[in-house]
Amino acid sequence: ETGVTQTPRHLVMGMTNKKSLKCEQHLGHNAMYWYKQSAKKPLELMFVYNFKEQTENNSVPSRFSPECPNSSHLFLHLHTLQPEDSALYLCASSQDGRRETQYFGPGTRLLVL
Amino acid sequence: GENVEQHPSTLSVQEGDSAVIKCTYSDSASNYFPWYKQELGKGPQLIIDIRSNVGEKKDQRIAVTLNKTAKHFSLHITETQPEDSAVYFCATDNTDKLIFGTGTRLQVFP
């Protein structure tokens, strides 16, 4: 266990649904990240939060909406997704938002029908 | 922006043999080079990292070497075991974020 948990582990949703992914870290870190992992592509950084403030939005479509209520919790709200959004969504945390070791959760496997 | 190339994309070795995965990067300002291992159904886990002030780092059967002049770094696994089978990712830092390679699927056959 890395100290980063994600729920749900698997999610199937239709294009008109609204769902949320949850991430929680128990490491006392101040920075949290959302990544998208698709087959045969590098990990794509989506969002970065440092001390609850969003410091990076990597040109992510507005159908993905992050929320960071505190340094331990991170959400990704999903609405009107497309089939090409199907992927593994990984959450990570680090001591701060600089070039430090990141610890990943197990991911949420998302399938959009 | 920073570009990280990783080779090979797949690697099959016999148990007990060595495995080497190589990454090249483009930004000479990069200073941090981690390697992650991702097993089936899990997120990537850090296995070893190196910073630019050293050329080599070793931890039991794994080692990482860095050549800053040539802008490449490599992961070396000796005496491979079936449990080493996984996807391995290199990464490097770039303006406060990590840029990952495309991954290498390592299969170790008993």
The pLDDT of residue B11: 97
The pLDDT of residue A79: 93
Question: How many angstroms separate the CA of residue A78 from the nearest CA in chain B?
Answer: 21
How many helices (H) and strands (E) are present in chain A, helices listed first? 0, 11
Contact: B36, A4; criterion CB under 8 Å: no
Two tokens at B50? 């190196």
A24 interfaces chain B, CB cutoff of 8 Å: no
The pLDDT of residue A98: 62
Q: In chain B, pLDDT over 70 holds for what percent of residues?
A: 98
Buried b (16+ CB within 10 A) or exposed e, A24-53: bbeeebbbbbbbbbeeeebbbbbbbbbeee
Q: Is residue A101 within 8 Å of residue A82, measured between CB atoms?
A: no
Contact: B44, A104; criterion CB under 8 Å: yes
The pLDDT of residue A51: 79
Which of B93, B22, B48 is closest to A48 using CA atoms? Answer: B93
pLDDT digits (tens, 9 = 90+) for B82-100: 999 999 999 998 776 888 9
User: What distance in Å separates the CA atoms of residue B72 and residue B49, rounded to the nearest whole number?
Assistant: 14
Which of B48, B51, B46 is closest to B31 using CA atoms? Answer: B51
Average pLDDT score over residue span B30-44: 92
List, in sequence order, every beta strand (DSSP E) within chain B: 4-7, 10-14, 19-25, 32-38, 45-51, 56-59, 62-67, 72-77, 86-94, 97-100, 104-109
A10 interfaces chain B, CB cutoff of 8 Å: no
Asked which of B25-29, B46-50, B84-88 is least confident by mean pLDDT, the reply is: B25-29
pLDDT at B47 over 90: yes
How many Cβ contacts (< 8 angstroms) between chains A and B? 49
Which residues from chain B sit within 8 angstroms of residue A39, using beta carbons?
A: none
Average pLDDT score over residue span B69-77: 96
The pLDDT of residue B97: 80
Two tokens at B100? 């990952």
Contact: B102, A40; criterion CB under 8 Å: yes
The pLDDT of residue A1: 66
